[in-house]
């Protein structure tokens, strides 16, 4: 093109690296709840961060109330140095330099929900059951933590969805209260709830009516969420660096309704169809479940605040390792080489020759 400014350039994911403009001083440690196996790693980590790195460590107030922690060696001496916070009451904005998660994928989703604007870099250790989003092993955590604190790490910028619920009075059509706004990392799900009837949901793309969804519901997911509920409903898997939004029907009452991928910059509007027999229910990353009534609408678009997830190796290696280890992607018995088949054929032939020789009369006489 003559005007080089109009040529679209795509950023190389490998160029996304962790850079500290100043040494990190505060860290938020999120621990998987109701799991005794995480207690010892948690105590080791917070003691090391406080004593060796002289950092201010924030933890949930409910974590300190766990009676099992008191039985961990050395924790009582560390307890008073921890900074507790309460979800929904204490604002962590601009207080945290980076986040450490100990557990499964749910810990990363929870960390995302705590920050409805800019999110600090997240380092997630695999101490849960699945671990698709948690690439780090805890065995040599000191070495890995030092690499991250020195800025020797790659980043995956995981996009989030900005979801806004607009409520309207069915009789007057006027807004009833201020819109509800939430950010989600995996997906927003609209379903029929306890109703026995099919969902009947209208889907709009940038103001244009695209289709009506009749079935059990609809999943609107990020690329990160494409390997969660969406893939279980038949969607493709999208690398988290791809700028896109995935729309996946849940058990659609149509054989031709396939999942679609739309550009990240569009706005989706979802509402209950006027002729629908029932309302709908919506949940955000499995939380904040609420009813979507006639006249209400849900607006979904890509947020400007992604989750910077720290890579154990790099963006590509981490993702494909997770596909192989967690989902057993494309795992099957390997096809035999032709040489192996030839050897088996020769062996089979020689066995048959021996049996044939026994069937000959002269062989019996001898």
In whole angstroms, give the CA distance from residue 342 to residue 90: 71
Pairing of strands 307-310, 155-158: antiparallel
| 359 labelled catalytic | no
- 349 Cβ contact list (under 8 Å, min separation 6): none
Scan for tokens 């109009």, then name that residue: 6
Cβ of 117: how many Cβ atoms within 10 Å? 10
- 90 Cβ contact list (under 8 Å, min separation 6): none
From the list 66, 94, 97, 105, the catalytic residue is 105
CA torsion angle 247 113 155 39 (round to 10): -120
The residue count of the chain comes to: 366
Instruction: Find out whether 191 and 250 touch, Cβ atoms under 8 Å.
Output: yes
In whole angstroms, give the CA distance from residue 106 to residue 129: 10
DSSP string, 308-363: EEEPSS-HHHHHHHHHHHHS-TT--PPPPPHHHHHHHHHHHHHHHHHHHHHHSHHH
Residues acting as catalytic residues: 105
């Amino acid at each position: 093109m003559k005007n080089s400014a109009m040529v679209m350039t795509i950023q190389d994911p490998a160029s996304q690296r962790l850079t500290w403009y100043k040494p990190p001083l505060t860290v938020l440690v999120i621990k998987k709840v109701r799991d005794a196996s995480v207690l010892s790693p948690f105590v080791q980590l917070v003691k090391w961060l406080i004593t060796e790195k002289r950092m201010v460590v924030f933890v949930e107030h409910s974590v300190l109330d766990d009676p099992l922690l008191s039985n961990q060696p050395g924790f009582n001496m560390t307890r008073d140095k921890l900074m507790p916070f309460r979800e929904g009451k204490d604002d962590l904005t601009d207080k945290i330099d980076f986040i450490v998660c100990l557990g499964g994928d749910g810990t990363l989703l929870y960390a995302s929900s705590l920050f409805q604007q800019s999110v600090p870099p997240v380092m997630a250790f695999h101490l849960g059951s699945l671990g698709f989003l948690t690439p780090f092993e805890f065995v040599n955590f000191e070495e890995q933590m030092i690499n991250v604190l020195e800025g020797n790490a790659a980043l995956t910028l995981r996009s989030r969805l900005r979801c806004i619920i607009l409520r309207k009075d069915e009789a007057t059509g006027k807004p009833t209260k201020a819109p509800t706004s939430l950010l989600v990392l995996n997906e927003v799900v609209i379903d029929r709830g306890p109703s026995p009837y099919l969902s009947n949901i209208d889907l709009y793309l940038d103001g244009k009516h695209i289709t009506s969804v009749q079935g059990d519901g609809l999943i609107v997911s990020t690329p990160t969420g494409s390997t969660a509920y969406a893939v279980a409903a038949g969607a493709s898997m999208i690398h988290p660096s791809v700028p896109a939004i995935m729309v996946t029907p849940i058990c659609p009452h149509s054989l031709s309704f396939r999942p679609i991928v739309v550009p990240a910059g569009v706005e989706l509007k979802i509402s209950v169809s006027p002729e629908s027999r029932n309302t709908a229910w919506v949940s955000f990353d499995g939380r904040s479940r609420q009813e979507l009534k006639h006249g209400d609408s849900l607006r979904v678009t890509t947020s400007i605040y992604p989750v910077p997830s720290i890579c154990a190796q790099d963006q590509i290696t981490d993702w494909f390792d997770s596909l192989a280890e967690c989902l057993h992607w494309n795992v099957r018995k390997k096809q035999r080489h032709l040489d192996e088949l030839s050897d088996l054929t020769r062996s089979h032939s020689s066995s048959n020759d021996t049996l044939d020789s026994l069937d000959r009369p002269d062989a019996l006489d001898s």
